[in-house]
Structure 1
Amino acid sequence: MPIIEKPHWTVRVEQPESAFAEGNSRWTNKDLDPVPRHARKWGVTSFISYWISDAFNAATWQFASSIIAIGLTWRESLGIVALSFFIISFVIALNGAIGVLHHVPFPVIARASWGFWGSYLAIISRAILAIFWFAIQNMNGANSVRVMIAAIWPSFATIKNGIPEAEGIDTPTMVSFFLFWLVSLPWLCMHPNQLRWLFMIKSVVVPVAWIAILVWALVSTKGEGDMWDQKATITGSAYSWAFLSSLTSVIGNYATLSVNQSDFSRYSRVSVKWQLIYVPLLPLIFTFISFIGVAATSAGAVKYGTIDWDPMALISNWPSRAARFFAAFSFALAALGVNISANSLSAANDLTALFPQYINIRRGQLLCAVLCWALVPWKILASAGSFLNFMAAYAIFLGPIAAIMVTDFWVVHHARYDTLALYQRHGIYAYTAGCNWRAVVAFLVGVGPNLPGFIQSINPDIDAGVGARPYAFGWLLGFSATALVYVVLELWVAPPRDTFIQRSVLPDEVYDAQGGVDEGVSVESGGEGEKGGWKERMSRIL
């Protein structure tokens, strides 16, 4: 009889022979290597559906609520949302374009500007944020599932609670949390190329459901409601500071994706110029969704006498059980999609970069799901308002990180990176002991002015006085200050001349040299003959 070898599971991840590893798996694995041509599945439709999917979530619905609460009107709140996403869309597009050109994820791109060991500062910062928000988004999904179950089984919400009140969660919510978490697991095992179908489905189902809610809001109240006639309750300098702080708050919600857009754009099979579609697309989509939140909340106030910015509280008032179920389902699907796109995949790429010998994207997402329970997000939401302030304020660290990445690629290096060197620890991006001190200095300069306000936001008992003012526009200040200092250090004070190359080295050149790329697929433009001025370089890229 033939001997049948039993499959065995190993702690180390699969690492086929890599053209980039140099025999050292410390800095890469299959999921960190540049995406080869045959694995680039994302087209224009995939990216549009991805962003529509990402935009339709409860947080976007509620953007206007905090702005209106501090004294501005719904019109001003929508204007702030539009301006915020107009600003952040440029950063998302520029960082996303790096992924399209070099087909590598954020943790690998960060090595060019931070150095191999220095990049860990940026990677760990984003990983922490992604894991905590994954846990919190699971609670948002659980609340949606709870409304769905209650629509089918009305007594579910009132079943006997066997969990101590001090835990911050009851039995129905715990069951809902577990069910949402369980349904999420199969999606966490999928490759990003497969996940694009989830985003496409969500980009159809959720917008249809929410537009139906908008129609209900407008038809049922015929435009009535105090909110539509609201006037700003603050003026002068208070108005200006409220405007800036609201702008920073909205930008901060998507500061993570401004850093890690390359985690998705690396799978692009279309020209880099399509990343520019984000500039008109994002402000339109996010502002429209915020308007739905305003209209639905205003309708709820007219019909039910309460202002419910929480969509689940609003939906729970509906008499139709079928309407409650399908509306809550749309929010559950929305939470699932955004949790994967903004949190679990981000955390997975970061964990993969930190431990490439043991973690790949699939294991990283599953580890994120396990850590979700350890963080007990129901306690975070129930008792730690200051912690949520901390998480929202964390954007002051991501703004400088995004600034360093954008300026390093587009301004300092004129869009020329050596992809192979991004995997060579002692190559041109080695810097001093693996750390680019210029990036660290620029990062500290960008973060420093915001720290007094950051501390005060966590603990209101600490009065930072006028020192808290910069925090009101923390992301903008951090991004601008970091960009300026970094460019000055890199170009005039202490230029790292080894990193200034005459032309890009793109991954397809390396794959072609190794014979590891599909035949019959053309090499993307932008890798050859890239000497010349800035305008010539940009024309070749676009």
Structure 2
Amino acid sequence: MGRGMKRPSAHDIKRRCTSLHSWEIPKQNGALAPAHVWTNKDMDPTPPEHQNWGSWTIIAYWATDVLNLTTWQTASAILAVGLSWREAIPIMFLGNFVVAIPIVLNGAIGSRLHVPFSVIATSSFGYYLRYFAIVSRAILAMFWLGIQGANGAQCITIMLRAWAPSYNDIPNQLPASAGLTTQGFISYFLFWIIQLPLLLIHPTKLKPLFWIKLVAAPTSALALLGWSVHKAGGGGEIFTQKATVSGSEYAYLWLSSMSAVTGTWSTLSVNMPDFTRYARSPNGQFIQLPAMPILFTLCGVIGIVTTSAAHVFTPGEYLWNPLDIISQWLDYGSGGRAAAFFAALAWYLAQVGTNITANSVSAANDLTVLFPRWVNIRRGCFIAAVVAGWVLVPWKILSSAETLLAFLGGYAVFLGPLAGIMTADFWLVKKQKVDIPALYNPDGRYRYVGGCNWRAAVAFIVPVAPLLPGLGLSISGPEAVHINEGLANLYTFNWMFGFVTSIFLYVVLSYAFPAKETLLAETVWDLDQIAVEAYPRASDVEEGSDGKSKSSDGVNDMKVKELS
């Protein structure tokens, strides 16, 4: 130390290390935001070296997302309302095809601009109104992160029972108010703690996990299908059943079931750019349009056949949860226990994969934009895991909070308009021309009026308002909420109504009252007001003599011009 300088005391060092300042993420050099706005590299456009997701990666992504316990059981909800497999299969396909359209359209924004949903939202909602969309999405993601974990804890229970059969004899020491047993708590804790390091994998390094699940989950599903059909001597009786409703009731049940399917993926219709920002090609992500409904429907069909066959040798209720069927293998000696262990492990990976792709990364991106000074994607994943896993007590939600589950299921009421506004803004109003640095600037061209694009606010409120009575009815039931039949029927296709209506309103308002400062001739990439047709992609980047990626002129062969 220099002469006259006082050595810091242990108390000073401890105070500095425990202060909030010590948790700050260093502001990145070269960030697009103004000097007074704090950002970090996870908010910035994805650099070319990390744009490594091709079409097969996108397919693997959806395979990891779609193959989970919820998808397997989707058909049960359709059959439970009075429809049959003849309706369930086209409903699953058409519902997923419908929601795949905005997933692809909004996903294309990420594959072209390489920024996450929470940054893109600035263009359509305004710098400050976007926080409403971001917070809404983050809260929902954390709720489902916890609920999927609580559902997946049964995988751990089966694995432990297969490894040590005495695990099932653990006495319960918890009161009924806890919402789960001692055995259930141990299984849940193990699910959470083993899942945690997987949640912390950065999205740029997720591809190996996709491929592992792509092998493990289908193998387990097909093995379960084959065993059930073989043991039953056929596919069972479910394929002889017919719909028990007809007329207008049949039509509205068809629509409501399809709306439930679209609602399952309505979150990704908003934040798909969180993943497509890593795409190698701007068009490679279009593979989602056929892949998503095909994969979902295949998984649903396997679930129907397996459940129907299993009903032959498990009389009583249909077992729609594959883990209930797998648990029967525990009674077949050591060979059955080994099969049950590895099958449950495959479904564990399926649940974790879905949690990562549909919930954890999404919540982390949102938290990164909400708190860029302290949170990056990895920290966001950890925060989301803690909040979702313990603060929200998801096991109690599953055991007692039917109204909350109904609300989460009806959240598509809000997500439909959010997806519609983003789609309309990028494709129909901005014509794919965006000022990327302005997305990070609270005083830039996307400030609108006080940081709020009133056109987006109107296009959101108008379609949501008439759907709220139906949401209240689904949460509280007809005994508590009385609404006319028209509003109840409108709610049966809430997501589609909100999505289409918001597009129409936003486009009309934007053309009638244009925000001229936001309409550009070309996309603006950097702070020097250079307009380019696309951001450099990984395929455009050459490898230099030092082994590092570089491009010859920063934009390669793209058209470049300086804005006046």
Please tell me the TM-score bracket, short chain as reference. over 0.9
How far the C-alpha of 1:161 sits from its partner, in A, is: 0.9
- Tell me if 1:391 matches 2:415: no
- Tell me if 1:52 matches 2:63: yes
- Tell me if 1:19 matches 2:31: yes
- Tell me if 1:497 matches 2:528: no
- Tell me if 1:277 matches 2:294: no
Counterpart of 1:448 in structure 2 is 465
Quote the Cα distance in structure 2 between the aligned partners of 1:171 and 1:428.
Answer: 56
Quote the Cα distance in structure 2 between the aligned partners of 1:447 and 1:342.
Answer: 24
How far the C-alpha of 1:527 sits from its partner, in A, is: 5.9
Matches within 5 A, 1:97-112: 97-112=108-123
Per the alignment, do residues 182 and 253 of structure 1 end up closer, same or farther by CA in structure 2, a change over 3 Å counting?
same
How far the C-alpha of 1:327 sits from its partner, in A, is: 1.4
Identity, % of aligned positions: 44
- Residue 147 of structure 1, aligned match among 146, 158, 165: 158
- Tell me if 1:294 matches 2:304: yes
The answer as to whether partners of 1:138 and 1:180 remain within 8 angstroms in 2 is yes
- Tell me if 1:472 matches 2:492: yes
Counterpart of 2:343 in structure 1 is 327
**TM-superposition CA deviations, 1:302-353 (whole Å, max 9, x none):** 1111311122212112231112111111111101000011111111111111
Matches within 5 A, 1:200-279: 200-269=211-280, 271-279=281-289
Quote the Cα distance in structure 2 between the aligned partners of 1:188 and 1:524.
Answer: 36
Q: Secondary structure of the residue that 2:35 maps to in structure 1?
A: coil
**TM-superposition CA deviations, 1:95-143 (whole Å, max 9, x none):** 1110011110000000000001010111111111101001101101211
Counterpart of 1:413 in structure 2 is 430
Q: How many residues align?
A: 526
Counterpart of 2:88 in structure 1 is 77
**Structure 2: runs of 5+ lacking an equivalent:** 2-6, 8-12, 542-547
How far the C-alpha of 1:396 sits from its partner, in A, is: 0.9
Q: Secondary structure of the residue that 2:53 maps to in structure 1?
A: coil
Quote the Cα distance in structure 2 between the aligned partners of 1:402 and 1:236.
Answer: 32
Per the alignment, do residues 176 and 125 of structure 1 end up closer, same or farther by CA in structure 2, a change over 3 Å counting?
same
**TM-superposition CA deviations, 1:140-174 (whole Å, max 9, x none):** 12111111111111121221111111211001111
Quote the Cα distance in structure 2 between the aligned partners of 1:478 and 1:29.
Answer: 34
Quote the Cα distance in structure 1 between the aligned partners of 2:394 and 2:529.
Answer: 45
Superposition CA RMSD, Å: 2.6
Deviates most, 322-331 or 104-113: 322-331
The answer as to whether partners of 2:172 and 2:182 remain within 8 angstroms in 1 is yes
TM-score, length-scaled by structure 2: 0.89
Counterpart of 2:419 in structure 1 is 402
Matches within 5 A, 1:374-385: 374-385=391-402
Quote the Cα distance in structure 2 between the aligned partners of 1:313 and 1:44.
Answer: 35
The answer as to whether partners of 1:86 and 1:280 remain within 8 angstroms in 2 is yes
How far the C-alpha of 1:18 sits from its partner, in A, is: 2.8
The answer as to whether partners of 1:34 and 1:507 remain within 8 angstroms in 2 is no
The answer as to whether partners of 1:19 and 1:511 remain within 8 angstroms in 2 is no
Q: Secondary structure of the residue that 1:382 maps to in structure 2?
A: helix
Deviates most, 303-312 or 16-25: 16-25
Quote the Cα distance in structure 1 between the aligned partners of 2:221 and 2:556.
Answer: 39
How far the C-alpha of 1:507 sits from its partner, in A, is: 5.9
- Tell me if 1:120 matches 2:131: yes
Quote the Cα distance in structure 2 between the aligned partners of 1:510 and 1:177.
Answer: 52
Q: Secondary structure of the residue that 2:492 maps to in structure 1?
A: helix
- Residue 424 of structure 1, aligned match among 441, 447, 450: 441
Quote the Cα distance in structure 1 between the aligned partners of 2:352 and 2:476.
Answer: 32
Counterpart of 2:550 in structure 1 is 519
* Equivalent residue letter for 1:115: G
Quote the Cα distance in structure 2 between the aligned partners of 1:525 and 1:382.
Answer: 58
The answer as to whether partners of 2:159 and 2:340 remain within 8 angstroms in 1 is yes
How far the C-alpha of 1:526 sits from its partner, in A, is: 6.6
The answer as to whether partners of 2:119 and 2:439 remain within 8 angstroms in 1 is yes
How far the C-alpha of 1:506 sits from its partner, in A, is: 3.5
Quote the Cα distance in structure 1 between the aligned partners of 2:287 and 2:102.
Answer: 12
* Bigger radius of gyration among the two: 2
How far the C-alpha of 1:279 sits from its partner, in A, is: 1.2
The answer as to whether partners of 1:101 and 1:506 remain within 8 angstroms in 2 is no
The answer as to whether partners of 1:304 and 1:317 remain within 8 angstroms in 2 is no
**Structure 1: runs of 5+ lacking an equivalent:** 532-542
Per the alignment, do residues 519 and 512 of structure 1 end up closer, same or farther by CA in structure 2, a change over 3 Å counting?
farther
Counterpart of 2:99 in structure 1 is 88
Quote the Cα distance in structure 2 between the aligned partners of 1:227 and 1:530.
Answer: 65
* Equivalent residue letter for 2:447: A
Deviates most, 328-337 or 519-528: 519-528
The answer as to whether partners of 2:156 and 2:344 remain within 8 angstroms in 1 is yes
Deviates most, 452-461 or 44-53: 44-53
Quote the Cα distance in structure 2 between the aligned partners of 1:526 and 1:127.
Answer: 36
Counterpart of 1:364 in structure 2 is 380
**TM-superposition CA deviations, 1:362-406 (whole Å, max 9, x none):** 111111111120111111111111211110100110010000000
- Residue 450 of structure 2, aligned match among 423, 433, 437: 433
* Equivalent residue letter for 1:520: S
Matches within 5 A, 1:135-214: 135-214=146-225
Quote the Cα distance in structure 1 between the aligned partners of 2:72 and 2:482.
Answer: 32
Quote the Cα distance in structure 2 between the aligned partners of 1:243 and 1:506.
Answer: 46
Counterpart of 1:36 in structure 2 is 47
How far the C-alpha of 1:359 sits from its partner, in A, is: 1.0
Counterpart of 1:481 in structure 2 is 501
TM-score, length-scaled by structure 1: 0.92
* Equivalent residue letter for 1:22: P
The answer as to whether partners of 2:37 and 2:441 remain within 8 angstroms in 1 is no
Quote the Cα distance in structure 1 between the aligned partners of 2:557 and 2:82.
Answer: 51
